[in-house]
């Protein structure tokens, strides 16, 4: 396991104490977004269920807004035991488990029903990805957190045609998003979500990639003027727990956690598209919102069509199996 260097004083203080130095029934959770965001509310719902069902035996403490760990630090922090649990974009696991990037292949999902079937607990894709992440990172996936779909943000001009990214610096949040930008002639810049606002404000990048809900929660409408609803890929986070900590819980505690995880996963996935629509509606009063025509969407799809082949070429049999699992879920 890599040693993870943490900048924040509070985080360093936590790392100085191994997991077992704390009461085993205390679960500290590092979050990337504010508690008011849908992912934060999802953890609050989980906290309420777990604490009530356990009669207070299990206590959950939330640390929102990346105050302890940035997105890219979460897999290592949870895996090493620096903190018991957290949420991170699934793209942050691509270094250890390259097949997770199947989720970010542009236009691989036909619609919401297709996405739901592909990522349902117990699905072929979930079994492969959850198992690989556990093996490679010591992160046990409790549940997947639907975040919405990818959109583009522009400052000086809207992003409408694929060629509009040519020569532009684009904020990305994963390897596959970087490939997408490259395919469209842009220059990808990998950046944690918490750094977006300042980067857009200072002009460090020209274009942003994110989810509609993040525009609202991070107030990105204050620093960007245009939102383009490409909805080209699904954005998924995962709620994870240190495997050793989880294994140290009693069977009764594990059941409470597992049951709560299944419940809140379904709650969030049911709500996310409605929340996404609300976020877009709110943004319309603050930004220029662009909805692609069928012809424009077809042009985007054609321009990025080669990415799936590049993915399979780089990830081999495992990547091919992941793509096939996604395709099979549409039937």
CA distance 312 to 80: 31
All structural domains of the chain, each given as residue ranges with its CATH number in brackets, are 9-148+235-273 (3.40.190.170), 151-233+280-328 (3.40.190.170)
Does pLDDT of 73 surpass 90?
yes
**Summary mean pLDDT of the chain:** 91
Look at residue 306 in the predicted model and tell me its pLDDT. 96
Q: How many CA atoms lie within 13 A of 238 on its CB side?
A: 25
Length of the chain (residues): 331
Q: Does the pLDDT at position 50 exceed 50? A: yes
Say what the pTM is: 0.81
DSSP three-state, residue 128: helix
Which range, 111-115, 198-202, 213-217, has the best average confidence (pLDDT)? 198-202
Q: How confident is the model at residue 118 (pLDDT cuts 50, 70, 90)?
A: very high
Say if residue 183's pLDDT is above 70.
yes
Percentage of residues in the chain with pLDDT exceeding 70?
93
Residue 305 forms beta bridges with which residues?
A: none
Q: Between 19 and 151, where is the model more confident?
A: 151
The pLDDT value given to residue 273: 86
Angle at 260 between CA 258 and CA 263, to 5 degrees: 110
Task: Give the tens place of pLDDT for each residue, 220-273.
Answer: 999 999 999 999 999 999 999 999 999 999 999 999 999 999 999 999 999 998
Residue 209's pLDDT is what? Answer: 97
Secondary structure of 241-294 in HEC code, one letter for each residue: EEHHHHHCCCHHHHHHHHHHHHHHHHHHHHHHHHHHHHHHHHHCCCCEEEECCH
Contact call for residues 132 and 206 (beta carbons, < 8 A): no
Per-residue confidence (pLDDT) for residue 24, from 0 to 100: 59
The pLDDT confidence band at residue 18, using thresholds 50, 70 and 90, is: very low
Whether pLDDT at 43 is above 60: yes
What the block records as the tokens of 264 is 């809140």
């Amino acid at each position: 396991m890599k040693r993870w260097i943490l900048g924040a004083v509070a985080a360093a203080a936590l790392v100085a104490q191994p997991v077992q130095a704390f009461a085993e029934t205390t679960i500290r959770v590092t979050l990337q977004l504010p508690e008011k965001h849908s992912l934060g509310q999802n953890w609050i719902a989980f906290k309420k269920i777990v604490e009530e069902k356990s009669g207070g035996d299990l206590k959950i403490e939330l640390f929102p807004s990346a105050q302890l760990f940035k997105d890219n630090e979460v897999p290592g922090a949870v895996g090493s035991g620096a903190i018991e649990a957290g949420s991170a974009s699934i793209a942050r696991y691509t270094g250890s488990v390259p097949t997770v990037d199947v989720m970010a292949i542009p236009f691989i999902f036909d619609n919401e029903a297709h996405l739901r079937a592909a990522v349902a607990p117990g699905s072929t894709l979930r079994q492969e990805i959850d198992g690989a992440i556990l093996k490679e990172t010591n992160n046990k996936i409790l549940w997947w957190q639907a975040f919405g779909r990818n959109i583009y943000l522009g400052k000086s001009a809207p992003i409408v045609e694929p060629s509009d990214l040519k020569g532009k610096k684009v904020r990305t949040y994963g390897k596959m998003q970087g490939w997408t930008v490259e395919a469209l002639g842009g220059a990808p810049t990998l950046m944690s979500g918490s750094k977006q606002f300042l980067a857009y404000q200072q002009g460090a990048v020209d274009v942003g990639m994110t989810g509609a809900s993040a525009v609202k929660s991070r107030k990105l409408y204050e620093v960007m003027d245009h939102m383009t609803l490409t909805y080209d890929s699904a954005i998924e986070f995962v709620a994870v727990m240190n495997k050793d900590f989880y294994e140290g819980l009693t069977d009764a505690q594990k059941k409470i956690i597992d049951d709560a995880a299944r419940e809140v996963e379904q709650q969030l996935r049911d709500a996310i598209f409605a929340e996404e629509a609300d976020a877009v509606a709110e943004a319309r009063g603050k930004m220029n919102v662009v909805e692609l025509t069928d012809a424009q969407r077809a042009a985007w799809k054609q321009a990025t069509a080669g990415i799936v082949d590049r993915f399979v070429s780089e990830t081999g049999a495992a990547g091919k199996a992941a793509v096939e699992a996604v395709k099979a879920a549409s039937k």
